[in-house]
Homo-oligomer: A and B are copies of this chain.
Amino acid sequence: MRARDLLVDFPTVSLDAPVAEAARLLAEQDLPGLIVAGDDGLPVTILPGTQVLRLAVPGYCLDDPALARVVDEAHADAFLRALDGRTVREALPERPRELPVTDPDATVLEVAALMARTRSPLAAIVDEGRLLGAVTLQVLLERVLAA
């Protein structure tokens, strides 16, 4: 079993998409994360769902969740709207991370190791400069357990 056998179509978001749109895509399609693609269609970064959330949470709350408690309920409910058109590009962390990207020939163990290392529930599959799709943790586990 190779990555190509586990491949699923996967939507991408552009760097200039609003963070709220990225969050909506994640929620509506129940995706485990997002592939952020550059102008060439290739993955610039791959964000697990929790890191998409991270784009949307004010920094002071990330540093100290106790500070989130002093924000009243109405403002807390509206934290995503408060982003007001901020783009994915603006919200990305500066520190680059290891990308869960591999090729269609990768074995299921390689893909599993890559997901575990990068804490990403999806891996992008790229071949000859083209994004073919993704392997999700869900599909990988289902197929490995059925094998």
Chain B residue with Cβ nearest A120: B50
1/0 per residue A109-120: CB within 8 Å of B?
110111111111
* Chain A interface main SS type: helix
Count chain A residues whose beta carbon lies closer than 8 angstroms to a beta carbon of B. 54
Report how many copies the assembly holds.
2
- Whether A107 contacts B68 by the Cβ 8 Å rule is yes
- Whether A141 contacts B26 by the Cβ 8 Å rule is yes
- Whether A113 contacts B68 by the Cβ 8 Å rule is yes
Q: Given A62-B113, A77-B108, A141-B23, is A32 in contact with B56 using a C-beta cutoff of 8 Å?
A: no
What 8 pairs across the A-B complex have the smallest Cβ distances? A76-B109, A76-B107, A27-B141, A61-B113, A54-B116, A68-B110, A65-B113, A68-B113
1/0 per residue A33-47: CB within 8 Å of B?
000000000000000
Which A1-59 residues have C-beta < 8 A from chain B?
1-2, 20, 23-24, 26-28, 30, 32, 48-51, 53-54, 56-57
